[in-house]
Every structure is written in structure tokens, then in C-alpha cells.
Amino acid sequence: MSAGSGNRNTEPWGSFDDNLIQGGSAVIDMENMDDTSGSSFEDMGEMHQRMKEEEEVTAEAAATEDDATDDGEFLGMKGLKGQLGRQVADEVWQAGKRQASRAFNLYANIDILRPYFDVEPVQVRSRLIESMIPVRMITFPQKIAGELYGPLMLVFTLVAILLHGMKTSGTVIREGTLMGTAIGTCFGYWLGVSSFIYFLAYLVNAQITMLQMLSLLGYGLFGHCVVLLVTYNIHFHFLFYVLWLLIGGLSTLRMVAALLSRTVGQTPRLLLCGTLSLLHMTFLLYLHFNYHKIVEGLLDSLEGPNMVPMQRVARDVPELTLNATWRNPEVLQVH
């Protein structure tokens, strides 16, 4: 009900406006995390910013009011005019500062990301293990943890493992650097494929948010890390294929089951889960074969002369080199 004056605080029972503007608190309502509006970052930022501004404005108004009454009485007429000029300049400065800090705080406020990093080590460990265990319940939406610490650390671990693989195989990168390529590949995959699958999910009306997709795919990279760590050091192709199917397959199944539980309809399910499985499994294949060409000279220098002959499998050598050795058979004698 509106009272006579426009002042918000005159209602004896506390007006609605009061609660709306000062309704935000330091505790962030996790219920809002699961909505599919996709604009939670900006919403939270705006709310936070409006709260701060209200406080600032009331604090400034109180401060300038006190100053004005004190100085005006004391200095007399001349004091009042000087006071007015000073007040105007002050207010212009404050307004400008508020504009700049509002823009800065909205986008550079790391407090927006704080709730996504609120995890315990035990939780991270259990989520890592769970990412390899597919859950068979697909009639009811499965719970997907919305955190970013685990996925981010897994992407960085993948970068480190990729670097290790590239270095030991003497990969030639023609444009760009080793580090740049590794970071670009891993982050590009995580962010790009998450966005693409989220876009497809949006098209087929699946119940998943961007944060959950990022988290799901990030934890799915745990399988990739394990497989690559093993196969960059033990160079058996057969072992790689077995691990690719087993571990890659398990982590893909986990992601697929989570998505299936949140999608309705046969064709959308097929589209979404087929795309994800294809991309995820192909990425592992790509990482193994593109960044780990076995170069004989480098292996010699790192692992010493006593190498198992099986390591130098003829089918790893590209056809070009084979032709070269046939043309110059004396090269074979040197090795």
C-alpha cells in the first residue's frame, strides 16, 4: 500500500522497496545457480554494485550534510559561497569515480567467481573418481556439481602433460611456441566444446547450465590426463588403444549418462550425446597422435643406448623416411 509521501522508510511495517534494494546479502542463494537464464554473472554483479552504490550515496549524503551545517554556521556568508563551490566540485568528482568503479567492479570483480571455488580437497578427490564411474539412472536429472576449481586444475595438468609429451618427442611447431600450442589446445577444447554442447543443449531444450557443462567436461578430462600420462611414457600402440577405449570410454559414458538424464526425446538425446562422445574420444586420439611422433634420435639421447627394439616399430616411421632409407641403404648401417 502506498502512503502519502514518497519516502520509502515511512511504512511502519517496512515497505517492499526496502527489501528489494537491500535484499541482496553476502550469502549467495545457490538455488539461483541452477536456472538456465545464463546471465547469473551479470545479475550478481549488478546486485552487488547497486548495494555498494546505495551505501556510498547515503554515506556521502550524510558526510556532506554534516560538513555543510558545521562550516556554514561558522564561517558566515562568505563561507557559504566557497562551500557551495567546493561541494559541487566534490560531487562531480564522486560521480565520476562512481561511474568508473561501477564499470570496473562489474567485470573485474573476482568475488563473482568466489562461490565456484568453494570446495574441499575431499570433494575434489571424490569428484575425480566419480568422473570415471557412469551412473545408470537416466530417468531423473543427475546432480552435476557446479565448481570450477577441479576443471581448471585438470586443464592445467593436461597442459603440463602435453608439454612433457611434446618435449620428449621433439614435436616441430612451425608457427607459435610449444607452450602457446599446449595452452591453446587444452583451453580451446574445454571452453569451445563446452560452449558448443551448451548451444546444442539450448537448441534441444536440455536442462543444463553453462557452468554445469564446463564442470562436466572439465572433469571428463581426468581420463585424458591419465591415459596421456601413461602412454607418453610407455610407447605401445596396443596399450594406447586399450586405454583409449577403456578409460576414455568410461569418462565419456559418465558425461553421456548425465546429459541423457537431462534431455527429453530420442533425437535430441542422440544428437547431443553422439556429438559429445565423438568430440571427446577424437580429442584423445588427436592428442596422442599429433603431439607424440616418435623420433629416434631424441629417444636415444634421453633413454640411453639400451632400448628395446620393439620401441622402434617400422610402422611408426612415415613412408617418406622409409623411402629415403631404401634410397640410401648405408644410412641403415650407421644405426
Partner 1 sequence: MAAAEDSRPFAGLSDVSISEDIPVEGDISVPVGSSRRDDELSTLDEPVKETILRDLRAVGKKFVHVLYPKRSSALLRDWDLWGPLLLCVTLALLLQGGAADSDNQGGPQFAEVFVIIWFGSIIITLNSKLLGGTISFFQSLCVLGYCIMPLTVAMAVCRLVLLGVTGSVGFAVRLAVVTVSFGWSTFASTAFLTDSQPPNRKALVVYPVFLFYFVISWMVLTFSPSQ
Measured from the CB of residue 36, what is the shortest distance to partner 1 in angstroms?
A: 25
Return the number of the residue (59 or 153) whose C-beta is nearest partner 1. 153
Contact predicate 228/288, CB 8 Å: yes
Measured from the CB of residue 162, what is the shortest distance to partner 1 in angstroms?
A: 11
Binding mask 22-61 for partner 1 (x = CB under 8 A): ----------------------------------------
Told to check if 149 binds partner 1 by CB under 8 A, we report yes
Measured from the CB of residue 288, what is the shortest distance to partner 1 in angstroms?
A: 19
Measured from the CB of residue 124, what is the shortest distance to partner 1 in angstroms?
A: 7
Distance between CA atoms of residues 289 and 153, nearest Å: 24
Distance between CA atoms of residues 36 and 41, nearest Å: 12
The three-class DSSP label of residue 103 is helix
Interface residue with partner 1 among 164, 187, 229, 277 (CB under 8 A) is 164
The three-class DSSP label of residue 262 is coil
Told to check if 312 binds partner 1 by CB under 8 A, we report no
Told to check if 163 binds partner 1 by CB under 8 A, we report yes
Measured from the CB of residue 182, what is the shortest distance to partner 1 in angstroms?
A: 10
Residues listed for the chain: 335
Task: Give 206: exposed, middle or buried? Use CB within 10 Å, 0-12, 13-18, 19+.
Answer: buried
Grid cell 568410461 — which residue? 250
Told to check if 79 binds partner 1 by CB under 8 A, we report no
Told to check if 107 binds partner 1 by CB under 8 A, we report no
b/e per residue 249-276 (b: at least 16 CB within 10 A): bebbbbbbbbbbbbbeeeebbebbbeeb
Q: Is residue 27 left, alpha or beta, with left meaning phi > 0 and alpha meaning psi from -120 to 50? A: beta
Interface residue with partner 1 among 106, 132, 178, 250 (CB under 8 A) is 178
Measured from the CB of residue 105, what is the shortest distance to partner 1 in angstroms?
A: 16
Q: What are the residues binding partner 1 (CB under 8 A)?
A: 110, 113-114, 117-121, 124, 149, 152-153, 156-157, 160, 163-164, 167, 170, 172-174, 177-180, 302, 304
